[in-house]
Amino acid sequence: MASKKKEPVLNSFIVTTEHRGVFYAEIDSSADLTAKTFTNLKNCRMAIYWGTDRGVMQLAETGPTEKSKISAKADIAALHGITGVFSVTDEAKSVWTQK
């Protein structure tokens, strides 16, 4: 009997890089969040312009604002130079995924 491959459980994060990249990404729950390189990021969007009143962490708390400029969605095979990983609230996730 063939076994079914389990789909990974994805968690939502804001990921920042040493080159000032700010990304919304869905990352496998088994990923090492202390790594300097992440692989297989799903449903990613880049914050081209934050447009926030309370800094980058507002993107994790409430999501992009009307003033934010957000990229199209894409999966990222590898993202290097990770400097920060912020948990995303359900409220923020719904805004990121509607863009």
Instruction: Give the model confidence (pLDDT) of 15-30 as tens digits.
Output: 999 999 999 999 999 9
Flag whether 83 is in a domain.
yes
Q: What is the CATH number of the domain that holds 89?
A: 2.30.30
Flag whether 2 is in a domain.
no
Domain containing residue 49: 10-98
pLDDT of residue 88: 98
Flag whether 68 is in a domain.
yes
Flag whether 1 is in a domain.
no
Contacts of 92 (CB under 8 A, 6+ apart): 12, 59, 60, 61, 62, 63
pLDDT of residue 15: 98
Flag whether 48 is in a domain.
yes
What are the tens digits of pLDDT across the range 1-17? 566 777 789 999 999 99
Per-residue pLDDT at 65 exceeds 70: yes
Query: Mean pLDDT across the stretch 40-53?
Result: 97
Burial (CB < 10 A; 0-12, 13-18, 19+), residue 38, is buried
Flag whether 3 is in a domain.
no
pLDDT of residue 2: 61
Number of domains in the chain: 1
Flag whether 87 is in a domain.
yes
Flag whether 34 is in a domain.
yes
